[in-house]
Amino acid sequence: MKKQYVLLLLCVWSHIALAQTIQGFTTKSTQDQLALETQFDAKLKKENLDEWMQFMAAEPHYVGTEYGKKNAEWMKKQFESWGYDVEIDEYQVLFPYPKLRLLELTEPTAFKAALEPEPIAEDKYTQQGEALLPSYNAFSTDGDVTAELVFVNYGVPKDYEELEKLGIDVKGKIVIAKYYGSWRGIKPKLAAEKGAIGCIIYSDPADDGYVQGDVYPEGAFKPETGVQRGSVMDMPLYPGDVLTPGYGATKNAKRLDRKEAPTITKIPVLPISYADAQPFLEALNGAVAPSDWRGGLPITYHIGPGPAKVHLKLEFDWQLKPAYNVIAKLKGAVYPEEWVMRGNHHDAWVHGASDPVSGMVALMEEARAVGELAKAGQQPKRTIVYCAWDAEEPGLIGSTEWVEDHQEVLKEKAVVYINTDGNGRGFLGVGGSHTLETMVKEIAGSIEDPQTGVSLVERRAAAAKVANRDTDFRLSALGSGSDYTPFIQHTGIPSLNLGFGGESSGGEYHTIFDTYSHYTRFKDPGFHYGITLAKTAGHITLRMANADILPFEMSAWYKTVSEYMDEVTETTEAMRKQAEKQQQLVAENAYVIAADPKDNLKAPEAEKDIPYLDFSPLQNALASVKTSVHDFSKTDFTSLSASKQKMVNAKLKDLEKALLSESGLPRRPWFKHQIYAPGFYTGYGVKTLPGVREAIEQKNFEEAQEQIEKLAKILTAFKGKLDEIVKMG
């Protein structure tokens, strides 16, 4: 099979070379590039990933730790030995460390939560005692509260809608929510908006515990005392250091007073295990939870409120800690002032073998191979910048501070940012700027899946076909959740985020169980997908670095944005039909008649009419862009002279920035991209055409009309930039 696959690839490459089908390359440069990528692949060694993971994940290395600094200094030496110019850029960032954590049930019985996991005898890394970071949610406020408890399922907007139907109010209460359903920071944010005074988040075994599979160490899933750490900073407002919004957290930077920082939670928040959660949930009475709210614990899930009463007390040590970003540059031979940027974070909540070290060591092996090629005389045309970010886990802090501190140079030089994070086993997932979709598909179609021997594209398509999904290779849209966020969302630098997964599920995320032992048994034994990640990201990096014309392609972008446009119009129409149906049911008293009288269901009020929005400015703008996209796609820029190619590339580099608005999104000006953004009430989850879509979803129709007109102007300006490039062809 493997021999046949290699022969097939050789045939494909020969066809590509003859047909000039590599995006952004001439016939001659296509042949040179494919030969270079073959040499690059031959230099990759999975043994390095294994060795480096054992070193980097040997001890906890959250922001501010000595081992975190040791890892940064060690990486600097590695990059230097491979021929890179390396700096460690340090920022002083706020990082709260837990001083006091108390959670107890005071009524109807007494119980005190243990809050810490039991170590695993077979895993030495879980036995490091006080070196392990206590389980907590970073950027929870301090607090001392006592109140009745209410179970709110995942604590997302639709759950509060259900509570309202049941006549249950969380005002003045402490809520307990399950992990998952949204990014964790949304749960205390919504709870506070609804009037709650405290929030507990627990991992239910139905989501990542024994319901899913055997628990660690027998299997990959979360043991009963496992606790997921994580930040609850309000990152949909802005990520990064909470005290320096919009500018770098340098030593002498002006800082907000902590009490004024809007991204620290308004109520205290604490994560717990499902072993700790069970006594609290068992003590609840009231309505039985709907069937889709119930988890995997051997109890009847009640909502409350009460009779369970809870005391939650939290105190944190709020100090500035050093964050160490490692920045390694390999100077380009032809266009040294154009930067191809490639990053992964190196900090972890505990050992972080999977998140982030698996991605970090793949990046390092990629960088080593690229450095060897350069030493042998095959220097990239453009400068390649490898970045190892610190303080990602508390809130994308290291990358955000670096981007905010280098905004002007990035606007001038950055061509693309390529991100990875934790890596597993299974299928290639890629999200990012849709102008890069064609190039990524080309590359994924030429790389072999290590388990099946078919290409990454073919394996992904087969899985989609079996699941009755669209088999086209498409990039997903980027919201937030990793270090690409400040590049694309704030600065308008085209970005990608990639990794493998789907066949390596477990419950180790942000726990003491994310160790080398766990990773090498359950996530990627043999590091076969680690090498495949290095290969895939490496090919993308080298293509971007060496292309004659930067490989941005507009047809896939236009198709995608048109689909987003259809979605928002269809959403509005669906909301109108739903409102009309609901109004009719209320008028007929159907909700009251249909309900079980014992449930004491509160009849809803009739929804307001959904107005007809004028989408024509946006539709007309998008239609005008279509002509420009067609003209761009049929223009052969690779046939231009070298001087004209340089001029075209300078324009292409800045094209994504035309999709930014300087004023940003409503109520969150830090997020400037008008096509992609993390949702205000989803956190990591993306909202496309966010200004328009979120205004519609929140039924703020006056704002929606304003955002339609704003986005139309953005697209018209984008068309103008595209037309300028076409005229140069």
Assigned domain for 637 exists: yes
Assigned domain for 470 exists: no
Closest CA to 103 of 351, 311, 259: 311
CA 369/CA 361 separation, integer angstroms: 12
| pLDDT band at 20; cut points 50, 70, 90 | low
CA 275/CA 26 separation, integer angstroms: 61
Assigned domain for 19 exists: no
Q: Do 214 and 85 belong to one domain? A: no
Domain count, the chain: 3
Q: Do 87 and 165 belong to one domain? A: no
CA 418/CA 440 separation, integer angstroms: 11
Tens digits of residue pLDDT in 567-607: 999 999 999 999 999 999 999 999 888 988 877 777 889 99
Place of tokens 């490459």: 13
Count CB neighbours of 11 within 10 A: 10
* pLDDT at residue 88, as a whole number: 99
CA 729/CA 724 separation, integer angstroms: 9
Task: Give the CATH number, domain containing residue 595.
Answer: 1.20.930.40
Query: 266: which residues sit within 8 A by CB, 6+ positions away?
Result: 141, 188, 189, 192
* pLDDT at residue 596, as a whole number: 85
Q: Do 58 and 202 belong to one domain? A: no
CA 387/CA 374 separation, integer angstroms: 18
Assigned domain for 711 exists: yes
Q: Do 204 and 236 belong to one domain? A: yes
Tens digits of residue pLDDT in 473-516: 999 999 999 999 999 999 999 999 999 999 999 999 999 999 99
Q: What are phi and psi of 101, to 5 degrees?
A: -135, 120
What is the value of pTM for the model shown? 0.96
Mean local confidence (pLDDT), 11-25:
60
Q: Do 64 and 156 belong to one domain? A: no
Task: Give the CATH number, domain containing residue 215.
Answer: 3.50.30.30
* pLDDT at residue 714, as a whole number: 98
- Final residue before a domain boundary, out of 513, 546, 579: 546
Q: Do 394 and 508 belong to one domain? A: yes
Q: State the DSSP H helix or E strand holding residue 73, giving kind and residue range, or none if neither.
A: helix 66-81
Closest CA to 130 of 113, 116, 112: 116
Q: Are 265 and 175 in contact (CB under 8 A)?
A: no
What's the angle, vertex CA 420, arms to CA 355 and CA 136, rounded to 5?
30
Residue 284: is its pLDDT beyond 90? Answer: yes
Q: Are 63 and 397 in contact (CB under 8 A)?
A: yes
Residue 13: is its pLDDT beyond 50? Answer: no
With 0-12 CB in 10 A as exposed, 13-18 as middle and 19+ as buried, what is 465? exposed
* pLDDT at residue 597, as a whole number: 85
Residue 14: is its pLDDT beyond 60? Answer: no
Beta strands in 157-245 (DSSP E): 174-178, 198-202, 230-231
Here the tokens at position 572 are 């509005």
| pLDDT band at 457; cut points 50, 70, 90 | very high
pLDDT more than 90, % of the chain? 94
Q: Are 464 and 502 in contact (CB under 8 A)?
A: no
Give yes or no for a cis peptide into 217 (omega within 30° of 0): yes
CA-derived radius of gyration, the chain:
26
Q: Do 201 and 73 belong to one domain? A: no
Here the tokens at position 99 are 């001083």
* pLDDT at residue 181, as a whole number: 94
Assigned domain for 439 exists: no
Q: Are 40 and 373 in contact (CB under 8 A)?
A: yes
Q: Do 135 and 177 belong to one domain? A: yes
Q: Do 622 and 719 belong to one domain? A: yes
Count CB neighbours of 356 within 10 A: 28
Mean local confidence (pLDDT), 49-56:
99
- Final residue before a domain boundary, out of 546, 573, 599: 546
Tens digits of residue pLDDT in 515-541: 999 999 999 999 999 999 999 999 999
Helices (H), 495-641: 516-518, 528-546, 554-587, 590-594, 616-633
- Final residue before a domain boundary, out of 262, 290, 317: 317
Q: Do 389 and 279 belong to one domain? A: no
CA 257/CA 384 separation, integer angstroms: 38
CA 460/CA 448 separation, integer angstroms: 12
The answer to whether the Cα torsion of 421, 427, 433, 435 is positive or negative is positive
394-411 burial: b if 16+ Cβ within 10 Å, else e: bbbbbbbbbbbbbeeebe
Q: Which domain holds residue 257?
A: 96-317
Assigned domain for 233 exists: yes
* pLDDT at residue 7, as a whole number: 42
Mean residue pLDDT of the chain comes to 96
* pLDDT at residue 17, as a whole number: 41
* pLDDT at residue 630, as a whole number: 97
Task: Give the CATH number, domain containing residue 426.
Answer: 3.40.630.10
Residue 4: is its pLDDT beyond 90? Answer: no
413-422 burial: b if 16+ Cβ within 10 Å, else e: bbbbbbbbbb
CA 389/CA 623 separation, integer angstroms: 41
pLDDT more than 70, % of the chain? 97
Closest CA to 258 of 162, 376, 142: 142
Mean local confidence (pLDDT), 58-87:
99
Place of tokens 């949702």: 679
Q: Do 484 and 603 belong to one domain? A: no
Q: Are 192 and 170 in contact (CB under 8 A)?
A: no
* pLDDT at residue 600, as a whole number: 72
Mean local confidence (pLDDT), 212-216:
98
Place of tokens 């700027």: 433
| pLDDT band at 12; cut points 50, 70, 90 | very low
Q: Do 63 and 103 belong to one domain? A: no
Assigned domain for 443 exists: no
Here the tokens at position 626 are 């279509």
Residue 358: is its pLDDT beyond 90? Answer: yes
Residue 483, CA distances (Å) to 184, 394, 398 in order: 18, 12, 8
226-236 burial: b if 16+ Cβ within 10 Å, else e: bbbbbbbbbbb
CA 354/CA 59 separation, integer angstroms: 14
Q: Are 720 and 596 in contact (CB under 8 A)?
A: no
Q: Are 350 and 132 in contact (CB under 8 A)?
A: yes
Amino acid occupying residue 540: I
DSSP state for residue 487 in the 8-state scheme: I
**Do the bridges between strand 174-178 and strand 143-151 make them parallel or antiparallel, or are there none, so unpaired?**
parallel
184-214 burial: b if 16+ Cβ within 10 Å, else e: bbbbbbbbbebebbbbbbbbbbbbbbbebbe
Mean local confidence (pLDDT), 432-445:
98
* pLDDT at residue 294, as a whole number: 98
Looking at the DSSP bridge assignments, the partners of residue 101 are 314
Assigned domain for 349 exists: yes
